[in-house]
Homo-oligomer: A and B are copies of this chain.
Amino acid sequence: MQVEKTAFARKGTMIETRHNGKQALPEPTLRRLPWYLAYVKMLDALHVEHVSSTQIAKKLNVDASQIAKDLSFLNIKGKTRIGYEVRSLVKELTDFLGFKHRHNAFMIGTGSLGSALMRDVNLVQYGLNIVAGFDVEPSLVGTKVGEIPIYDIAELGERQRALGVTIAVLAVPVEHAQEVTDRAVQSGIKAIWNFTPYRIKVPNGVVLENTSIYAHLAVMYNRIDAGLYNTQTH
């Protein structure tokens, strides 16, 4: 008899279980999950009930077995000759990706990009709720972006304590990225979503996610120049 086996164990080793019980899954897999979610959400809206990995594969340009593998990490099983149940796929993915939760966050740097992101209502749909902005510029402090108030960055610590926010979105000029980060961490921030092109350093225990959209621009320019097409990765 076989003990419940972890799907797709590599090289004979079990995939390790992290200390909170969640499986450690490859980052490329994690990055693909939102694509699947976006697609099956669409199907759900069209009242489609089942979808196979081969169907998804055809639409999204991802290998079918890759999709099956990815989903098996979440213990999502499909039925032979039927495929996956769209409804539960939406639910499980949304759940796993953390999009149904509400994560409160601070926006640090409310200039061009920062205020732009504060105006993006989609973020809240994906679980990110920006509750306050911070800046050094006196002309901005005291104003609002939409409904969101902007405070002086000197108040970061006390606002953190008052609101219990642990996520910060960083959109300051490159030259201040590191110092502002240090201050944020000192103020109790536990996760930083970095939109600057600068590679900030954070102490152990703080989550850092870099999203430098300008780097993506560089990749695009390079492909255009090179006459390289369709070599999409991300």
- A contact set with B: CB distance below 8 Å: 18-20, 22, 24, 27, 30-31, 33-35, 37-39, 41-42, 45, 59-62, 97-99, 101, 103, 112-113, 115-117, 119-123, 126-128, 167, 174-175, 190-191, 193, 196-199, 201-202, 204-234
Contacts and interface: CB of A to CB of B under 8 A. Distances in A.
Contacts of A18: 226-228
27 contacts: A22-B225, A24-B226, A27-B219, A31-B218, A33-B218, A34-B197, A34-B212, A34-B215, A35-B212, A39-B198, A42-B174, A59-B201, A60-B199, A62-B199, A98-B218, A103-B221, A116-B117, A128-B217, A191-B220, A193-B216, A193-B220, A202-B230, A207-B228, A208-B230, A209-B216, A209-B232, A211-B213
Q: Which of A103, A197, A202 has the most CB of B within 10 A?
A: A197
Given A191-B220, A232-B209, A201 B34 contact: no
Nearest to A61: B201
Contacts of A225: 20, 22, 98
A41 B216 CA distance: 19
Nearest to A196: B38
Given A31-B219, A202-B230, 8 more contacts: A41-B174, A42-B198, A127-B221, A167-B220, A190-B224, A208-B232, A209-B234, A211-B234
